[in-house]
Each structure stands twice: as structure tokens, then as C-alpha cells.
Structure 1
């Protein structure tokens, strides 16, 4: 069951790394680039092509299973790891992680992760590194057990085989109107993200944003199929707080006003404000959540910034400081911790959204699907990239294939069970 070799391959993420601080400070976008100097350490320009690093585990029969490491779009912001540097990560992987990989039993997933991800020089390994290597280890365990990655997760965490699909959430990028139409025509469950990441997009007192929300709701009625009624989800990147102020009550008032403008729709507002630290975020988000709940609002608060690692997710969930937690997979680290994070949210009756970033790859997106379905998350992000078609296809098709395989597995288990009892399985 040992890994006999490890190979590394440089790669591309599906979008770009962006300097959020520079964009918030008013960097002007011209075409696809931003003019001006970067602010966040590590950035040589405000927009940098996303890089990734693939790690391949060579198994005993020469089969190679892969995982992909990368950072998130807004690296270095909101308490996140710094900008992903493939050369530095490659060197650390070769020196420290490869010897550990060659010494573990790849058939025992959680045990292998625990051994490979032990601290180095009293520090945790970089989270993108954990993310990619844990994907490869999950694929290795699935291959060795002749199972799906979701089944490995269910076995390791003592979960039943899932039967239900997980709602998919798409993001529009800057091509808002065209991509909203695509989402509606494809009957996406949750839409459209909106990328409300600048004062221009939010507008004075949020009026530009409110008009966009109303347009999305109207558009779903205009071109959506019969009975189509998606959840509306908007990421405002802290702009409610920046434009209106950092007091919970006025923020809640504004969110209620937005929800009232689209009656009948559930409204998710992601990152309404950034209060500057994890504890301040927890305290103030909990207050906003409480106000909205007391008003029976149809709006729900989604936390992203300042809620990155498994421990931070635990703190937010226990404090009820969100209705829904985005589990931003590269920021969480090991994909096993993404599974733990979903289960932790469920224990605390807080919604779990398996997110991530447009900068990811097809491999990391597919692995995330298996985690989402195995743990029965409340929703998952269509990724990678900032388009709709490719990401929705990758994540949606992977989920459908997975559920078909699990249904077949369940049917065979029922047949064997009936045979043992001397009966026959009911024919479908």
C-alpha cells in the first residue's frame, strides 16, 4: 500500500490572483487589467495569472493519482495565506513532504493525512500544500479500495452513503448580465455571486447593488422555466460595512431593505462587512444574524473573510455568527478538514457551503464534489474559473456520475443482503 515515488508538475489555475486591498483602495480597471501599484505583499501587479502545482503519487502498480495545490483569488486578504508561489511550495514539498509520503500507508486516508501534515519547524505546512496533497491521498485511497472518493470519506467519518444531490452555486464574474442569463437557462440552484467588489459596483448607499438584485429576480421570472425559483446569493466583499458603517443594526437594516426588494426569494449576503479581526467578525456577525432572525427576514448571512481554517469555522459555528459558512477549500487546507468543517457546521445547526475559488483546477473541483456529497453539504460552488458553462459542467457532471455510482453500489449491497436472507432483491 506504499507510495513508491512522487512527481510534481507546474500548472495554471483557472483564473487570476487579485490584490483585494488595491482594488478596495480604488484601482481602476481598464479592459481586464487594473492600473496602479499593488498593495498586498507578494503581488508584483494587481492582477496576476493564477499558478498551481500538481502532485502525483506513484503507486505500487505504477498508477499515478494526482492532486492540485493553489491559492485563492484574493490571497493575503482577510487573514488568508500569502500569494501562492509555486517554486517555494515545490521546494518545500520535495524536501519535507515527499519523504513523509513515501513512508505512509496510502490505503488509510485520515491516518496518512495526519502523518504527512505534521508541523515542520513548529509551523503548520502551507494550506495550499495540504489541499493538493490531501486530494492526491484521497484519490490513492479510492483507487486502492476500488471505491469512489466519496465512499472513502463516508467510511473514514462513519457516514451513510448519500442519496441526495447537493445544490450548486454559480458565480458570474464581471460579465454579470450574460452569465446570469446562462445560469437561469441552465436552472442553477443558487446564483449569481455578482462580484460586488468595488464602490462603483455597490453604488452610493448601495443603490447600484439593490438595482442589480432586483434585476436578477426579475430576470429569473422572465426567462426561467416553469417552477424555477433559485436562491439569490450575492458576495459584497465587505462593501455594506464600508459604505454604511460598521454598526450591526444599520447593516441589518440595509440587508432587510434588500430582501424586501425581492419578496419571495431567499437572499444570501456574503461578507457584508469586514470588522478587521476574527473575534470582531464573530461578535458583530452574531449580532447581525440575531437581528435578522428576530425580524423573520428571508435574508441569510454568509461568512467568508476571517473564517478560513477549521478552528475559525468552529468558532463561527458555535457562536451562530452566520447562517451559512463558506468553507473555502484551499484556505482550510487538507480536504479532510473540509469534511470535518461541514460536519462541524451541521452539529451546530449552521449551513455548510463548500466553496473555494475561481483559481482552482478541474481536479480540485472534482475532489470537492466528493467531499460535498459525502457530507451532504447545503451547497457547493461551481468551479474552477469565472465562467458559468465550464464550472457548472465540471461540478454538475461529477456529482451526477458520483450519485449514479453510489446508487449502483447501494443496489448491489441490497441484492447481497437479500441473498444472505434467502430472498431476492426488488427489481427497479
Structure 2
């Protein structure tokens, strides 16, 4: 079966893109106000509206398969592909990718996913932008599922030899740090993990980390006061390397993490990207050393890798090194979806935790595909997306997993 037609439609992503290097270097950064100079190539402004190219495949059975090409918020940082500009890629999609798609047999997904992720002879051996590879693979997975009249999770399970889990995977609800009403809604809905609450600039931590200590304690207390009996979420905070900027001495950093763990009690504490090094090798070594120091002092803070952990090979290196407790599999950065599938399965094999994540800058389409990948591969948790409104992302992911599980159960019963 081959597509009858292909359409490319530009639109809006779920959030915006931001120049991380410029933000981290500026003490006067004001969110959504371009009062500082961009530092990362491709950025015309420090904050820009996110863009998407929807790839629509018209199938012989009359249905349309859809995939969304999107990048992450902090594009171009720590070895990621450059900022995704939709208009720059449309000519290539029309001239090179569309002819290939029209001749593509969508009966199987995995070989097509590998093909779109590989170097293209028509591009002198170059690869497509990771956002394009991500969107193409979504559309192709959707097409194969529609061709076989089954959920996308079923295609993944069939082609990778996995089983579809019969319950939703835990979700990390990503909330704004200054929005406690949003936090209260997540507590009411009893999400498994919260609040993400980004600390992007070292000033966000406060003098000697006092602002973060106060915030973590406030979150813990709020869960205890407002949560239902027996509700015990894990607390997760993304700090984008700011701890390493504030505490240049490892001993001070370990001590601070111990203080954070104390005020987070009685809940488990996860810290994402406590440091951002200048190279991948340095990042792995610093995180490995930090994790070892925490264990030596019996501080049960769990570390999550993000920056410099952008590809399947990167994830394998972090996992093999024992550098962290969890890696975030940032799906748009990995390009074609098969890489994210392989990454989850590799982490499970190596007994390293993983978050099947991505970015607030994604869309409802890519989030739903993520839900299917999760059901077929069973990561430890998902990051809520799109956006940082939490409600919408948690709803989209949860309901897609519940619906897919119901359909899968029904299908099994019908075969008995």
C-alpha cells in the first residue's frame, strides 16, 4: 500500500523556542521580552514562536495519516540540531521527500523509519533535520496502523516483539514554577510526578539556593496538606545546569542536594540536569561523580540526564557509564521514532530508568504518538506535553493510553 497524495501544512507548535545560551548568560533576562542579544545560531530573537509542519498522507482506504515536525524549546543547545524554521524545509520536502513518500510501501513501519533517519543520497549523504525525521516517522507509523486497522502501539509491539501494557504509564506533569493554582490541580488529579518547574537561570535558585529550597519545601507541604490520603507523588525539578553554576565545588553541591532531599520529604526527589558541562564526555563524568558522591553520603536524590543526551548513541553512553538514575529520551531530538523505541528498550535492558519525554513545544499529534510508544515499550514515566499548562498534556496522554488499552483488551477478547 502506497500513499495517494502528500500534503505539508505549516502551523503552530505547543509552546515557543528559546535561546538557552543567551538566557543562561544574562542576568537581565525577562521572559517573552527580547531585551538581550541572541547567542545561538538561527535565533533572530531570544524567544520565538514555535513552528510545525504537519505531514499528511492520503491513503488508498480514504484515511489520512498525520505526523508533526517539531523541535524542542532549547534548539541548538548542547549538540542539538539547529532551530527548526518551517519555511526553510518546505522546498526540500516538496522536491525530495514527497516523491519518496508517494513510492513508499507503508505495510511495515520499522524499515521506513530507519530509511527516513538515514543519510539521503539526494542530499549528498546528509540527514534530514531531526524535526523532519520525527514528523515523518509519526506519519508513517500512523499510516501503517491505519493500513492494518489497529492502534499504533500494536504496530510497535508486533515489529519489536514487545507487549502492550494494560494501564497508563506514569506522567510527570510539567507546571510553571510560579503557578500554585496549576500545581493544586495536579495534586487534585493525583498525577504520579510533579511539578518539573524549570530553574533556567542561576538567579532562579536564589542566594546559596535559598529560593529553590523554599520552593521545594512549599511543594512538599502543599502535597501533604491538599493531597488525598495515600497520594505519594515523586517530586521532579529541572534546573538546566544552574546548580553547577552556583556551586562550583562538588562538596557544596552534594550538600545542597542533601538539603533539598530533606525539605522534599516524605517524597522521592529527582533533579534533572544539575550541571551542564562543555562536552558530552565531561557531562557524563561530572554526573557519574556526582551520583557516586550522593550514594557515598546516602543521599537518595535521583539524577536525570537531558543536555548532551540527545541521540540513541548518547543515551547508550550515559546508560553504560552509570552516570544517572534516569535519562530523558527527548523524542524530537532523536529524530525518527524508532530511535526512541530502541532507547527505551535499551534502558530497560541495562536497568537504567528512563523518561519518554520531549518538549512543551510539541503538539497533540506527537503527544498521542508518544502515548502509543509508551504503551508498547513501558518507560518509567512520560513528560506531559504539549505546552506547560499540565492539564491539557496530562489529559491528552492519559486518555490516549486509556482508549488504546481498552481497544487492545477488546481485541484480545475477540480472539479468544
Class of the TM-score when normalised by the shorter of the 2 chains: over 0.9
Instruction: Report the counterpart of residue 233 of structure 1 in structure 2.
Output: 236
Deviation at 1:129, TM superposition (A): 0.6
Q: Given the alignment, which residue of 215, 220, 224 partners 1:221?
A: 224
Instruction: Report the counterpart of residue 45 of structure 1 in structure 2.
Output: 45
User: Which deviates more from structure 2 when the two are superposed, residues 266-275 or residues 200-209?
Assistant: 200-209
Instruction: Report the counterpart of residue 421 of structure 1 in structure 2.
Output: none
For 1:348 and 1:372, the matched residues in 2 are separated by 18
Instruction: Report the counterpart of residue 364 of structure 2 in structure 1.
Output: 362
Q: Is the 8 A contact 2:19 2:38 kept in 1?
A: yes
Deviation at 1:296, TM superposition (A): 3.4
How many residues are matched? Answer: 413
User: Which deviates more from structure 2 when the two are superposed, residues 13-22 or residues 255-264?
Assistant: 255-264
For 2:260 and 2:177, the matched residues in 1 are separated by 21
Which deviations, in whole Å up to 9, do the C-alpha atoms of 1:340-387 show, x marking residues without a partner? 110011111100101111111000000011101110110001110111
Deviation at 1:118, TM superposition (A): 2.7
Q: Is the 8 A contact 2:175 2:390 kept in 1?
A: yes
Residue 285 of structure 1 pairs with residue 287 of structure 2: yes
TM-score, structure 2 as length reference: 0.96
For 2:31 and 2:247, the matched residues in 1 are separated by 29
For 2:177 and 2:99, the matched residues in 1 are separated by 43
For 1:251 and 1:332, the matched residues in 2 are separated by 30
TM-score, structure 1 as length reference: 0.93
1:303-318 equivalent positions in 2, closer than 5 A: 303-318=305-320
For 1:242 and 1:310, the matched residues in 2 are separated by 28
For 2:384 and 2:162, the matched residues in 1 are separated by 24
Instruction: Provide the secondary structure at the position in 2 that maps to 1:67.
Output: strand
Instruction: Provide the secondary structure at the position in 2 that maps to 1:261.
Output: helix
Residue 205 of structure 1 pairs with residue 200 of structure 2: no
Which deviations, in whole Å up to 9, do the C-alpha atoms of 1:56-104 show, x marking residues without a partner? 1111233211000011111111211111110122222222222222222
Deviation at 1:248, TM superposition (A): 4.3
For 1:41 and 1:117, the matched residues in 2 are separated by 23
User: Which deviates more from structure 2 when the two are superposed, residues 29-38 or residues 111-120?
Assistant: 29-38
Q: Is the 8 A contact 2:117 2:335 kept in 1?
A: no
For 2:64 and 2:216, the matched residues in 1 are separated by 46
Instruction: Report the counterpart of residue 253 of structure 2 in structure 1.
Output: 251
Deviation at 1:249, TM superposition (A): 4.3
For 1:287 and 1:27, the matched residues in 2 are separated by 29
Residue 302 of structure 1 pairs with residue 304 of structure 2: yes
For 2:142 and 2:51, the matched residues in 1 are separated by 22
For 1:132 and 1:396, the matched residues in 2 are separated by 21
Instruction: Report the counterpart of residue 414 of structure 2 in structure 1.
Output: 412
Deviation at 1:264, TM superposition (A): 2.4
For 2:374 and 2:294, the matched residues in 1 are separated by 27
Deviation at 1:111, TM superposition (A): 1.1
Residue 132 of structure 1 pairs with residue 153 of structure 2: no
For 1:79 and 1:301, the matched residues in 2 are separated by 20
Which deviations, in whole Å up to 9, do the C-alpha atoms of 1:102-140 show, x marking residues without a partner? 222101100112233330322222111110000000101
Instruction: Report the counterpart of residue 423 of structure 1 in structure 2.
Output: none
* Unpaired stretches in structure 1, ≥5 consecutive residues: 416-428
For 1:164 and 1:403, the matched residues in 2 are separated by 7
* Unpaired stretches in structure 2, ≥5 consecutive residues: none
Runs (4+) of structure 1 exceeding 6 A deviation are none
For 1:13 and 1:31, the matched residues in 2 are separated by 18
For 1:142 and 1:166, the matched residues in 2 are separated by 21
Instruction: Report the counterpart of residue 16 of structure 2 in structure 1.
Output: 16
